[in-house]
A and B are shown apart, each in its own frame.
Chain A
Amino acid sequence: MTDTLMPKLSVNANDPGAVAGSPFIEIENLSLYYGASKALKNISLNLDEKVVTAFIGPSGCGKSTLLRCLNRMNDLIDGVRIEGSMKIGGYNINAKDVDVIELRKRVGMVFQKSNPFPKSIYENVAYGLRLHGVKAKSDLDARIEQSLQGAALWDEVKDRLHTSALGLSGGQQQRLCIARAIAIRPEIILMDEPASALDPIATARIEDLILELKKEFTIVIVTHNMQQAARISDRTAFFYIGELVEFGPTVKIFTNPAQKRTEDYVSGRFG
């Protein structure tokens, strides 16, 4: 990789912009427009390191859009305009000089629909590693095994690493995508409804995996599944039509929300 334009994201790293103890991800007064329509309205939100934060809310509330701001995936859409600031580890990631490639290396993503490359299982994980300069076969082998173990997939695939990833089940494919994401050692993992297309058993495995991953990674997960948010997240943010309605510890959001709208949503009265 080329020399990075961005300092190490982690707050404790050698980073003049960051103050130890300040929140890891700071979103301040963030608004996002698709053309003329305002999809995110003045969102302010602080997320801590190595914590699972769930974004919940009805479809179209902007939770996925906000998630995709964190690795600048919205750049790919024509006519998107962002106002306000979004800092990771004290560094403004919306700044013009941000190396988006480096940002995405540090902020990995798992998508709603599992999207393994039509290559072998081995090559799927090797792809990101090769992009970021891991070339030696022994290094690749070691990192791939480590990543697949990290994604709780190794035992199921170790004997068929060189067969097509498309031959895996839906749940296995999604865990492969997680392995692919953690292989390049990001600091944050964004998950956009990672289990919404999976059966309950596969979903449970992904949830166990998320609880395991939070020891090492900061995780932000968008989910439609209220029970899932309650089970795996430490903090929950509830969004409604582009606004952040309420943010707090998951237990509080689900048992004693401050806002009427939050209560109505989590109790299933609308949404």
Chain B
Amino acid sequence: MNAPATKNFRTDKFDFWSFFFSGLTGLATLFIIGILAVILGNIVWNGWTGISWHFVSTIPTKDFFDVKTTGVLPMIVGTAFRVIVMTIFVIPVGVITAIYLTEYASNTSIITRIIRAAVNNLAGVPSIVFGLFGLGFFINFVGKNMDAVLHNTSAVWGQPALIWASLTLAVMTLPVVIVATEESLKAIPPGLREASLALGATKLETILKIVLPQALPGIMTGGILAVSRAAGEVAPILFTGVAYYMASLPSHLSDQFMDLGYHVFVLSTQSPNIEQTRPILYATVLVLLMLTFALNIVAILIRARVRKKLRAMH
């Protein structure tokens, strides 16, 4: 074979389609980043002047449409509370469900298929429907019955409350946690389970000592996604716990609470003077974004610690 010695592998041909599609994907990416930049830029630009220590640490006692007397402390506390209480409920229930589905249930059984279909459908239900479900089930059924059993003369549990809003959000975010946990459980090599069982471990010992520690970062990813989704949701809490105005911070699970997302809605629809309220509105949205961001950062930091521990393996 006498190939020409000067032959190199360059080509002068311009590959139009290759150029076109790589350009297209690049443009699409830029477009997404652009939208995000416009939204965040607009909020930060217009909102940061409204944020002060006074703004985030004040419980408004008079007119919260007025720049001088307004504050968002109860909304920050309410939003943070409902997200934390939700996390406490959704993680165990979601993780246990996922463990049942991946480790115990037979994939071919009808019950498993029904549960999986239910989980998938749950993820597709509009959030306002969850709100109505929370009102009907948690407040009117569970809460009212609790009052009856506890012989409360006036409604304590049978009314909108922090706990019911959190539980409604927990039901809404359940699929996120279940799916994330299932994925992380499936990603664990079957060889590890076999090794543990072959040493005479029971299934439960294998799950608790080998499988779950490995799946922890994945489970926490599910938690992070659930927190992100829940923090900004308003519809599920509309009938189940959020208040237009409260003079004090919530101190009990049966208290109602104020909420940043709902407050944004109130500010933009109920204000007597839209121009005057606009800086407050921007600042409140910015606070909501920062709170969501902060909750995520905390969860991500914890996950990073767990990962590091797993990598150090001891």
A residues sitting closer than 8 Å to B (CB atoms) are: 71, 73, 76, 78, 101-102, 104-105, 108-109, 111, 113, 115-120, 123, 127-128, 131-132, 162-166, 177, 180-181, 184
Contacts and interface: CB of A to CB of B under 8 A. Distances in A.
Given A111-B191, A131-B205, A166 B198 contact: no
Contacts of A111: 191, 194-195, 198
B210 A117 contact: yes
B106 interface: yes
B281 to A, nearest CB: 50
Contacts of B194: 73, 76, 111, 115
Interface string B180-202: 00000000010110111111111
B200 A117 contact: no
B113 interface: no
A132 B191 contact: no
B312 A71 contact: no
A109 B193 CA distance: 13
Contact of A104 (B200, B214, B310): B200
A4 B285 CA distance: 65
A239 to B, nearest CB: 22
Contacts of B153: none
A163 B194 CA distance: 23
A166 B312 CA distance: 10
B8 interface: no
A115 B192 contact: yes
A127 B199 contact: yes
A102 B191 CA distance: 20
A128 B314 contact: no
25 contacts: A73-B194, A78-B107, A78-B108, A101-B200, A101-B201, A102-B200, A104-B198, A105-B199, A108-B199, A116-B195, A117-B192, A118-B214, A118-B313, A120-B313, A123-B313, A128-B201, A131-B201, A164-B311, A164-B313, A164-B314, A177-B195, A180-B195, A181-B198, A184-B199, A184-B200
B39 to A, nearest CB: 41
B209 interface: yes
Interface of B: 106-108, 189, 191-192, 194-202, 205, 209-210, 214, 310-314
Contact of A115 (B195, B200, B313): B195
Contacts of A73: 194, 197-198
For the complex of A and B, the 7 pairs showing the least CB-CB separation, nearest first, are A115-B191, A105-B200, A128-B199, A109-B198, A164-B313, A104-B200, A115-B195
Contacts of A123: 313-314
A114 B205 CA distance: 21
Given A115-B194, A117-B192, A117-B210, A128 B310 contact: no
B194, B209, B311 interface centre (most CB from chain A within 10 Å): B194
A222 to B, nearest CB: 14
Given A78-B108, A111-B194, A127-B209, A119 B200 contact: no
A162 B194 CA distance: 23
B219 to A, nearest CB: 16
A128 B191 CA distance: 16
Contacts of A102: 200
B284 to A, nearest CB: 45
Contacts of A132: 200
Contacts of A165: 313
B198 A108 contact: yes
B205 A166 contact: no
